[in-house]
Amino acid sequence: MTKIIPKGLYCGEITVPPSKSILHRALICAAFADGESVIHNFAVCDDVIATVECLRKLGAAIKIKGSDAVVKGTSVEDIPDGVTLDCRESGSTLRFLIPFAIISGKTMRFKGSERLLSRPMEAYQTLCDRNGIDMHIEDGALFVSGEKLENGFFTVDGSVSSQFVSGLMLALPHLHGYSVIEVEGETVSKPYIAMTLSVLSSFGVNLSVSDRIVVPSCAGTLPTEYTAEGDWSAAAPLFALNAVGSEITVKGLENASCQGDRAIKLLLGRLKRGKAEIDVTDCPDLAPVLMAVAPFFYGAHLTGTDRLEGKESDRGRAMAEELGKFGVPVTVGEGFIDVGEVDEFPEDVTVSSRSDHRIAMALTVILSYTGGKVEGEEHVSKSFPDFFTLLDQIREK
């Protein structure tokens, strides 16, 4: 579908949805806790629904009641054998649930979009190969089967995605006996590991972290009541709109959050000072929106951009091509992106979301200044289904 973005500013209040990154973790903790948990401030988006449906297939009972999710947990031992899990386009769902196949010893088949199944999985592949577990892609699906992983000492590459580390952190507490995770390489997106630690702690599992991650022998997570905080990633395009002239009051956020994307306000402040150099290693999801704002303030030089090509789209190059429609010069290099400035933006530009929610929301920032259209606007349902609806409600006439 195509969304028309009129030229103009936005003024009013918007409450952001709960963090989908936190909801994935909380749902998984609750799904394998011995008892009933309630997750407050719950809201659905495509990625969260993928996790809900997969956990139901693994044996958890999940009921959504208004803004609550009531979860009755199952056990790793009771996971059915031969189950097929459809992860849709959710990288978190896939990478967080593969370890549960590994520790259960059950055969699981993971389905998903072609783009999802092409995303890097080498960290888990290496772990499986070392422990006699078969993991392979066949007929458009990823299969995991073989020996059950026992507790012990594990090494995992943290230089591609922190999701591999978080996936093990979520699964290993359900083994009998303590385990140690040694993270190899330069760990990226460290705030997401801190987020996993925080959610696990709320469900009764306290991991020890120094140069290694020590997982205690604690027989799994405990049922609890948990309230999810607002999503700083979803708030980023709203703050970006403010940076170019709108006056949106963003509600529902925790200023003391461990979410890495809470850096958005600081980074936008640096952009506004002109020709900023910004490292997005720990907040890669902010790259598209930072690229959209940079041309308004003499450009920017982003580093730590290697992983953008493995997202829902090749985000660096996708944004470069879309920004080119506005006359913005962009250079995508090895680990960096240079965004230039433009003297005058053309008006009434049609852009493509590239089937990527972050791209759609980021390009809206420029379109609010120029007017135009976003093709594929429906993809915001992956994380922020009401994004355009809420903006329409506060658009200045």
Catalytic residues: 285
Sheet holding 133-138, edge to edge: 83-86, 108-111, 141-146, 133-138
DSSP H or E run through 344: none
Return the structure tokens found at 98. Answer: 């593969």
For residue 91, the number of C-alpha atoms closer than 13 Å in the C-beta half-sphere is 19
d(CA 351, CA 173): 46
Helix, strand, coil distribution of the chain in percent, nearest 5: 40, 25, 35
Residue 159 tokens, joined: 């230089």
- CA torsion through residues 182, 188, 192, 198, sign: positive
- Looking at the chain, how many residues does it have? 397
237 and 365 in contact (C-beta within 8 Å)? yes
Cα–Cα distance, 15 to 250 (Å, whole number)? 6
Q: Which neighbouring-strand residues pair with 336?
A: 303, 333
